[in-house]
C-alpha cells in the first residue's frame, strides 16, 4: 500500500514538473508578443520556480556548477547595484535557448507516426554488407536527421542497428563523427543558437561557413575510418549480420516503396527547415523564437492534416513525461549560465578576458584561434560544461577589436564546441554513446576518436584562419 502511494506521488511530481517546464516555454513564446515589465518579472519568477524544482534531481556536476553560477550571478548584480533588474534580465537571457532545447524533440512525433523509421532501417540493412558503406550511411543519416531530431537520432539509429553485432569502436566512431558535424551548423542545435544569439549573427550569414566545415568534418571522419579499417585484421572487426548473398532479400517493389518514404522524409525535413528560414526573412523575428514556434505548430498541423490527432496526443503525453522531465541538467545549467554571463558583462574579470583575447589576436590570429580552441577543449575535458566556458568567452568577444567578422568568431566557437563534445567525458553526447555501447567515456572520446579530433583541430583551425 505504501509503495503504491509513493509511486503515485512520484508520478504526480513528474507530471507537475513537466507542466511547469512546458508552461515556462509557452510563457516565453507569449513574452515575445508583449512589452510589459510586469510580465518580465512574472516570467523571471516562474523561471526561478522551474530552476529550483529541477535542481535536486540534476546530476551532481551540473548541479554544482548551476548553484555556483546562480549565486555568483546574483551577487555580482548586487555589487553592480542592479540586484533586481540585472537578475531579471539574466534569468530571461537564455530562456530562448532553453525553450528551443525543450520543444525541438516535438518534431520527432511526425517521424514516428509517419512510419519513416522502418524505411531508414531498410536502407541501412541494405548497405550493411560493407563496413565502409555502413559507416558512411550511419554518419550521413546522423548528419541529415540530427539537425531536427537532435540527440534522439543516435538513440533511434542504435535501436535500428542493434542486431548488426558491430564492434563498439566502429559505432563510437560513426556516431561521434556524424553528430559532431551537426553541431557545427544546425540552427536547431543549442550550441549554434547560443553563439549566433550572443554575437548577433544572422543564421543565413553563418550557414554557408558552418555547413562547409561540417561537410569537411564528415568527409574527414569517413576517410580516417577507411584508413583505420585497412589497418585492421578481419579477426579484429566484427562484421554485420547482413552479407552480399542476402542482398537478394531486398526486392524491387519493397525498394521503391521505401524510396518514396525516404523522399517524403527528406521533403518533410526540408519543409521544416525551409519554413523556419522563410519566416525569419519575412518577419525578422529571432531564429530562436521561430524554432520554438515551429517545433510546436508544425507537429500539430501535421497531425491535423494527416488525421492522426489521437496518435499525436498519445505521443505528446510520452514526450511530456519522459523527454521534458529528463531535461533537468540542461534546465539548471542554461538558467544559471544566462544569469552568470549577463552579470559578468562590465566587470573587471570580463575586461581582463577581453583584454587578453584582444592582445592575443593582435600578436597572431592563428595564435588566437589555438588559444580559444585549446581553452575550451582543456576546460571541458576536466569537467567544465561547454555552456559555462563559451558563455564566459563569447560575451567578451568584439569582432572589430579582434580584427575579424562575427561569423568567423561563431565558427571558431562552434568548431571548439563540436570537438569538445567528442572529447569531454561528461558531455551529453559522449555520455550517451558510452552508455549505449557499455564502454567508458574516455575510450569513446579520446581513445577511439583522438586522431579524428587532432586532425579536425588542425583542419578546422586552418579553415577559420583562411576565411578570417
- Listing DSSP states for 110-153 in one string gives HHHHTTHHHHHHHHHHHHTTSHHHHHHHHHHHHHHHHHHHTTHH
Note the pLDDT of residue 12.
Answer: 60
Note the pLDDT of residue 448.
Answer: 94
Interval 452-461 mean pLDDT = 97
Note the pLDDT of residue 243.
Answer: 47
Q: Counting every residue, how long is the chain?
A: 468
How many Cα neighbours within 13 Å face the side chain of 37? 3
Interval 438-459 mean pLDDT = 93
More confident residue, 181 or 275: 181
Name the percent of the chain lying above pLDDT 90: 37
Contacts 24+ apart (CB under 8 A), 215-219: 215/181, 216/459, 216/460, 216/463, 217/177, 217/180, 217/181, 217/184, 217/418, 217/456, 217/459, 217/460, 218/139, 218/140, 218/143, 218/177, 218/178, 218/181
Cell 580516417 locates to: 224
- Give the list of residues 6+ apart from residue 22 with CB closer than 8 angstroms, or none: 102, 320, 324
- Give the model confidence (pLDDT) of 234-245 as tens digits: 444 545 555 444
Domain borders along the chain are 106-307+346-394+396-467
- Give the model confidence (pLDDT) of 55-95 as tens digits: 988 888 888 888 998 999 999 999 888 888 999 999 998 89
Note the pLDDT of residue 288.
Answer: 80
Note the pLDDT of residue 248.
Answer: 45
Note the pLDDT of residue 251.
Answer: 58
253 pLDDT band (50/70/90 cuts)? low
42 pLDDT band (50/70/90 cuts)? very high
Interval 430-441 mean pLDDT = 86
- Give the model confidence (pLDDT) of 312-326 as tens digits: 999 999 888 888 888
- Give the model confidence (pLDDT) of 160-202 as tens digits: 776 677 788 989 999 999 999 999 988 777 788 889 888 988 8
How many Cα neighbours within 13 Å face the side chain of 401? 12
Interval 134-138 mean pLDDT = 88
Mean pLDDT of the chain: 85
Contact 413, 436 (CB under 8 A): no
Interval 2-26 mean pLDDT = 73
Note the pLDDT of residue 256.
Answer: 75
Amino acid at each position: 500500500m505504501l509503495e503504491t502511494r509513493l509511486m503515485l506521488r512520484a508520478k504526480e511530481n513528474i507530471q507537475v514538473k513537466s507542466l511547469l517546464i512546458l508552461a515556462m516555454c509557452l510563457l516565453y513564446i507569449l513574452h515575445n508578443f508583449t512589452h510589459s515589465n510586469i510580465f518580465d518579472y512574472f516570467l523571471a519568477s516562474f523561471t526561478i520556480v522551474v530552476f529550483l524544482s529541477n535542481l535536486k534531481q540534476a546530476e551532481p556536476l551540473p548541479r554544482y556548477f548551476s548553484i555556483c553560477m546562480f549565486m555568483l550571478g546574483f551577487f555580482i548584480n548586487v555589487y553592480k547595484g542592479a540586484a533586481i533588474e540585472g537578475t531579471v534580465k539574466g534569468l530571461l537571457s537564455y530562456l530562448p535557448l532553453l525553450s528551443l532545447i525543450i520543444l525541438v524533440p516535438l518534431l520527432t512525433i511526425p517521424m514516428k507516426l509517419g512510419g519513416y523509421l522502418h524505411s531508414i532501417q531498410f536502407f541501412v540493412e541494405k548497405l550493411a554488407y560493407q563496413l565502409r558503406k555502413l559507416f558512411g550511411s550511419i554518419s550521413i543519416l546522423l548528419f541529415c536527421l540530427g539537425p531536427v531530431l537532435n540527440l534522439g537520432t543516435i538513440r533511434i539509429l542504435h535501436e535500428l542497428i542493434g542486431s548488426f553485432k558491430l564492434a563498439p569502436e566502429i559505432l563510437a566512431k560513426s556516431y561521434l563523427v556524424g553528430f559532431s558535424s551537426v553541431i557545427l551548423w544546425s540552427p536547431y542545435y543549442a550550441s549554434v543558437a547560443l553563439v549566433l544569439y550572443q554575437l548577433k549573427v544572422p543564421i543565413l550569414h553563418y550557414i554557408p561557413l558552418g555547413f562547409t566545415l561540417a561537410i569537411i568534418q564528415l568527409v574527414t571522419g569517413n576517410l580516417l575510418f577507411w584508413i583505420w579499417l585497412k589497418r585492421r585484421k578481419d579477426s579484429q572487426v566484427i562484421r554485420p549480420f547482413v552479407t552480399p548473398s542476402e542482398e537478394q532479400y531486398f526486392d524491387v517493389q519493397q525498394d521503391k516503396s521505401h524510396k518514396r518514404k525516404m523522399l517524403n522524409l527528406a521533403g518533410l525535413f526540408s519543409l521544416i527547415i525551409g519554413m523556419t528560414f522563410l519566416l525569419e526573412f519575412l518577419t525578422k523575428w529571432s531564429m530562436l523564437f521561430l524554432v520554438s514556434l515551429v517545433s510546436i505548430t508544425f507537429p500539430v498541423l501535421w497531425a491535423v492534416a494527416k488525421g492522426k490527432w489521437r496518435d499525436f496526443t498519445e505521443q505528446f503525453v510520452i514526450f511530456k513525461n519522459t523527454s521534458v522531465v529528463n531535461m533537468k541538467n540542461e534546465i539548471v545549467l542554461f538558467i544559471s549560465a544566462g544569469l552568470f554571463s549577463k552579470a559578468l558583462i562590465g566587470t573587471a574579470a570580463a575586461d581582463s578576458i577581453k583584454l587578453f583575447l584582444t592582445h592575443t589576436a593582435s600578436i597572431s590570429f592563428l595564435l588566437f584561434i589555438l588559444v580559444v580552441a585549446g581553452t575550451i577543449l582543456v576546460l571541458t575535458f576536466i569537467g567544465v560544461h561547454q555552456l559555462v566556458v563559451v558563455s564566459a568567452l563569447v560575451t567578451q568577444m568584439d569582432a572589430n577589436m579582434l580584427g575579424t567578422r562575427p561569423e568567423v568568431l561563431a565558427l571558431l566557437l562552434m568548431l571548439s564546441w563540436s570537438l569538445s563534445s567528442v572529447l569531454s567525458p561528461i558531455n551529453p553526447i559522449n555520455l550517451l554513446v558510452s552508455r549505449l555501447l557499455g564502454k567508458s567515456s574516455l575510450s569513446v572520446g579520446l581513445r577511439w576518436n583522438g586522431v579524428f579530433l587532432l586532425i579536425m583541430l588542425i583542419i578546422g583551425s586552418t579553415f577559420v584562419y583562411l576565411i578570417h
